[in-house]
């Protein structure tokens, strides 16, 4: 059947696949025919994602992105790739007056430095095919706006958007495309950590022209668009997916 968004015969590596957006990306990629390599920290949740995948050539790896041994072992085991989606990330809410070096290092390490160095190592080890597509999950926080107490997270996401532009230039000679998907608020564990009250969430939802938060599948479809051969002329771009939030 004709489908320009098919991922058949592609091998895609997805970090943060044990939850939320990463899980949805993994499952939807497998439904579109990809072999999927997933990583996460929590073994039970990663297994749940793995069990929901279609096909028989999928692989799963546990890796804490702050742990160099885990990351090196992950890189060694990854096969030749047609696509990578860097979804793993976390947020820490602290007013700017209270941020400190340890917290700043942790958030930059997980959200920005680890995915950057993983991509570079995979390239050096020739595990990324010419013609591949790399997608980083950024956030409207950092690219367009921020939230109170969110300066460290915004910095880590803004860094991704900046780096992707230079990375796209440097990898264009290999025909490797590099893009970001930038979501507004998405229903997932990252917003269920108790840092935002239900009252605050309900008030915030009203600011969205489409009057709801997004869901992980809606981000997954944007990612699939960028992984697929439908976008072989898109690189260094940012795909905003925010229900109109940044219009207001």
Binder to ligand NAP among 7, 13, 18, 82 (CB under 6 A)? 18
Of residues 124 through 153, those in contact with ligand NAP by CB under 6 A are: 137, 139
Distance of CA 116 to the CA centre of its chain: 12
**C-alpha torsion 216→218→224→225, nearest 10:** -160
How far apart are the C-alpha atoms of 6 and 4, rounded to whole Å?
6
Q: Is 243 in the site for ligand NAP (CB under 6 A)?
A: no
Query: In angstroms, what is the minimal distance from the CB of 162 to ligand NAP?
Result: 16
How far, in Å, CA of 149 to CA of 147, rounded?
Answer: 6
Chain-centre distance of CA 105, in angstroms?
19
Site size toward ligand NAP (CB under 6 A) is: 27
Clarify whether 90 is annotated catalytic. Answer: no
Q: Which is nearer to ligand NAP, 11 or 15 (CB)?
A: 15
Cα(122)–Cα(42) distance, integer angstroms: 23
Q: Which of 12, 21, 84, 220 binds ligand NAP (CB under 6 A)?
A: 21
> Binding mask 108-127 vs ligand NAP (x if CB under 6 A, - otherwise)?
--x-----------------
Binding mask 53-92 toward ligand NAP (x if CB under 6 A, else -) reads: -----------xxx--------------------xxxx--
Told to check if 104 binds ligand NAP by CB under 6 A, we report no
Query: Minimum CB separation from ligand NAP for residue 73, in Å?
Result: 13
What's the min distance (Å) between Cβ of 247 and ligand NAP? 17
One of 90, 148, 153, 245 is an active-site residue; which one? 153
**C-beta of 101: minimal distance to ligand NAP in Å?**
17
Which strand ranges, in their side-by-side order, compose the sheet holding 35-40? 59-62, 35-40, 11-15, 81-86, 128-137, 177-183, 238-241
Alpha carbons 37 and 192: distance in angstroms, whole number: 26
* Collapsed DSSP state (helix, strand, coil) of residue 239: strand
Alpha carbon 18 to its chain's center: 12
Q: How many CB atoms lie within 10 A of CB 43?
A: 11
Applying CB under 6 A, the residues found at the interface with ligand NAP are 16, 18-22, 40-42, 45, 64-66, 87-90, 110, 137, 139, 183, 185-186, 188-191
Which residues are known to be catalytic?
Answer: 153
């Amino acid at each position: 059947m004709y489908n320009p968004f098919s991922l058949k015969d592609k091998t895609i590596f997805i970090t943060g696949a044990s939850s939320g957006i990463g899980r949805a990306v993994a499952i939807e990629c497998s439904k579109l025919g990809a072999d999927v390599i997933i990583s996460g920290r929590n073994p039970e949740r990663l297994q749940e994602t793995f069990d929901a995948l279609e096909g028989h050539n999928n692989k799963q790896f546990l890796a804490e992105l702050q742990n160099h041994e885990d990351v090196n072992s992950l890189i060694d085991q990854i096969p030749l790739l047609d696509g990578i989606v860097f979804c793993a990330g976390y947020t820490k809410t602290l007013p700017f007056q209270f941020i400190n070096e340890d917290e700043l290092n942790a958030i930059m390490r997980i959200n920005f430095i680890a995915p950057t160095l993983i991509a570079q190592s995979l390239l050096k080890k020739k595990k990324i095919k010419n013609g591949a597509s790399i997608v980083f999950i950024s956030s409207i926080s950092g690219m367009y706006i921020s939230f109170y107490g969110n300066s460290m997270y915004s910095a880590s996401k803004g860094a991704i958007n900046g780096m992707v532009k230079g990375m796209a230039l440097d990898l264009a000679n290999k025909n490797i495309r590099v893009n970001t998907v930038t979501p507004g608020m998405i229903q997932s564990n990252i917003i269920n950590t108790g840092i935002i009250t239900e009252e605050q969430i309900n008030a915030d939802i009203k600011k969205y022209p489409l009057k709801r938060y997004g869901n992980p599948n809606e981000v997954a479809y944007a990612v699939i668009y960028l992984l697929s051969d439908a976008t072989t002329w898109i690189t260094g771009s940012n795909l905003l997916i925010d229900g109109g939030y940044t219009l207001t």
